[in-house]
A and B are shown apart, each in its own frame.
Chain A
Amino acid sequence: MAYALQQLINGITLGMIYGLIAVGYTMVYGIIGMINFAHGDVFMIGAFVGIIVLTALSGVTSVPMGLLAALLLSAALCGLYGFSIERVAYRPLRGSFRLAPLISAIGMSILLENYVQTSQGALERAIPTLIPGGITLMNENGFIVQLSWMQMAIVTVTLVVLAIFTYIVTKTPLGRAMRAVEQDAKMAALLGIDTNRTISYTFIIGSALAAVAGVMFLLYYGVIDFYIGFNAGIKAFTAAVLGGIGSLPGAVLGGLLIGLIEAFWSGYATVAYKDVAVYSILAIVLMFMPTGLLGRNEVEKV
């Protein structure tokens, strides 16, 4: 029981991070129908900006201020990255052959990985735990269930960010424009929505979310390298598909599910095969629900 509770806590923390990245995937997919393969690498860039800011500010400001600065700067800079990536690599290919943006995105992903590797080195970079300690929830025969402050901070920040994001999508004119473009880009353009600008904002917001996830990842694990984006990106993409690609609550749900599967599989089966479990469950779910858990069943018109 205690062990399961601990895995639940770990799984939710991890799932929140995946969910944040998955939202960016699913948003971009919903609005322009392309797999943004470079999204995982934007997450990695976010983590690196975080570590650079934290290193620069260490000893200068207090820890909470440093964290806040890392989050904000990372989100802002990654938004800029997302914007530029879309302008440079995807916009010229909009409306062209279906696979062209995908290959361009894969190229962008390779580019970003190697850009960070060559500029910051291939070594793993570690930071000390910034928020130590936590509260003990349960003590069962010597097995202590811990809810660390860090985990609470991660879940809180994620929930706050998702709340802001939900507000933007559902209540603001920008969100309305985004949903309109997602439903029918041509019609939205006819009704006076600046489609290009809306798509740019989508990339900026999605990348900022990925950056927050990157900083959270950095805080949680304390170690990053230039390659973390690949694995996290694929997991988040899996989460987005599992939840039904294009569906925002689906992305968060998918992320949570994958975090939980990973935590419980590592806890009760083998750590080595946790990713195999995730991918297998994805394949099984899609066999029975071809559009994911919350995906819309699209009516095909002939």
Chain B
Amino acid sequence: MSARIAILKDAAAVAFMAFLIFGPFLGLQLGDSNAGNLTLSTRPELLALAVVAVFFARLGMLIWQEYRPARLPGTELALKVQESGRFIAPALLVFAVALPLIPGVQNVYIDLGVLIMTYVMLGWGLNIVVGLAGLLDLGYVAFYAVGAYSYALLSTTFNMSFWECLPISGLLAACWGIFLGFPVLRLRGDYLAIVTLAFGEIIRLVITNWVALTGGPNGIDEIPHPTLFGLSFSMAGGPGTFAGFFNILPAPGQRITYLYYIILFLALLTNWVTLRLRKQPLGRAWEALREDEIACRSLGINVRNTKLTAFAIGAMFGGFAGCFFATREGFISPDSFTFIESATVLAIVVLGGAGSQLGIVLAACVMIGVPELLQSLQIYRMLIFGIALVLIMIVRPRGFISKRRPTVLLRPVLRPVQVTEP
């Protein structure tokens, strides 16, 4: 009985705190009077609602803690997901390849697929830096921006095509990765985080303020869309366009489908390179670096080159993704390259379970797909996004797929030892 009273008391205390915390923000609202002064209006019903909601949420949580069943072993579940990953990954791949071909799938969903895939690619790219090499990068969006602006400027100034610009964008981003990598070589952990964050902000501020080159806050528009061997996807039809060449009616779906396959190819390339590199000395050096830098050094691994290649390769894929972003949107401005993008990509990597390729796909679907489907919630969308980020982290601090399979295994015993039961 006293336990129940204690629970009620606890919930009441939390509700009282909620009253204080929400009081000025939900209970009062600033407004403008006709005279131009600030006014305050009250809305007690909203505050009461919030306080009551907190009270019952806390009550429910406490009761759940009291009576919850034996804790589901998290690692076991993760292991199961990991094992089923063998089947999930190819199934997802088949689904991804087939999605635009399924009749009846609306363009909106293919477009959503393109968006999710872009973030999957960014996640996989950042995963090289954060998940494999263990370098905390809070300014990944800088390379995304470099790639996007490289393509935008090259194509609008020199009339270069998407496929010519793609490698150049990647290369430029990789150069910036190395350029950024040098000053931060000696830094560790959180010092690294702030410098990369600062670097991301520097790039964004320069783009915003260098109006003569980048158009400043107005951005660059009329960026050409990609072509298929010189065939454009113009809606006008006629000779020289995809529709004209194959003698079909031009439809917006054709271009979206084409974009979809480009990003699918780029994302799979990222994945393939990562998986190959993990099996090679460089990838192993990255993972060793993540675990222990001093041990690495004493084993003769060149820490400088290892870090710089991680930055460069991660940045290169960011650049590719940026290049794709520019050609897909046709318009870019500094608003697309804010810190929130870096944070989103980092959240995808961490939610995916830092290092797990499949986990990143799942995390990208959740983080990008769900908010897109919730468009109707308007301004509450980001509020829910923030709450979800905190909640997911609390429930699964190590990400969706937290159990990492060791990259290197000793040769397993060929014949399992027979245990004879008496």
Contact = CB atoms under 8 A, between A and B. Distances in A.
A119 B191 contact: no
Contact of A103 (B40, B198, B346): B346
Interface in A72-119: 77, 80-81, 84, 88-89, 92-93, 96-97, 99-104, 106-119
A103 to B, nearest CB: 5
Contact of B193 (A35, A89, A109, A120): A35
Interface string B12-46: 00000100110011101110000001111000000
B394 interface: yes
A6 B290 CA distance: 48
A108 B184 CA distance: 28
B374 to A, nearest CB: 13
A81 B386 CA distance: 16
Contact of A282 (B198, B382, B383): B198
Contact of A104 (B29, B187, B208, B393): B393
Contacts of A55: 30, 38-40
B205 interface: yes
Interface stretch (A146-154, A198-206, A283-291): A283-291
B393 A110 contact: no
A230 B339 contact: yes
B410 interface: no
B373 interface: no
Interface in B168-199: 183-184, 186-188, 190-191, 193-195, 197-199
Given A282-B198, A283-B199, A108 B40 contact: no
B358 interface: no
Contacts, number: 181
B389 interface: yes
Contacts of B387: 107, 111
Contact of B397 (A56, A97, A110, A126): A97
Interface stretch (B143-151, B242-250, B325-333, B347-355): B347-355
Nearest to B28: A52
Contacts of A35: 190, 193
B340 interface: yes
Q: State which size class the interface on A falls in.
A: 35 or more
B78 to A, nearest CB: 13
Contacts of B346: 99, 103, 106
A158 interface: no
A80 B17 contact: yes
A302 B382 CA distance: 44
Could you say which of A51, A88, A115, A280 has the most chain B C-beta atoms within 10 Å of its C-beta? Answer: A115
Nearest to A300: B294
A131 interface: no
A91 B138 CA distance: 23
B206 interface: yes
Interface of A: 29, 35, 48-49, 51-53, 55-56, 58, 77, 80-81, 84, 88-89, 92-93, 96-97, 99-104, 106-121, 125-127, 230, 234, 237-238, 241, 245, 270, 272-273, 275-276, 279-280, 282-284, 286-287, 290-292, 300, 302
Interface of B: 17, 20-21, 24-26, 28-30, 37-40, 130, 136, 183-184, 186-188, 190-191, 193-195, 197-199, 201-202, 205-206, 208-209, 294-295, 339-340, 343, 346-347, 350-351, 354, 379-380, 382-383, 385-390, 393-394, 397-399, 402
23 contacts: A35-B193, A49-B24, A55-B40, A80-B17, A97-B397, A100-B393, A102-B350, A103-B346, A106-B346, A108-B390, A110-B343, A110-B386, A111-B383, A118-B379, A120-B25, A120-B29, A120-B30, A282-B195, A283-B195, A283-B198, A284-B183, A286-B195, A287-B186
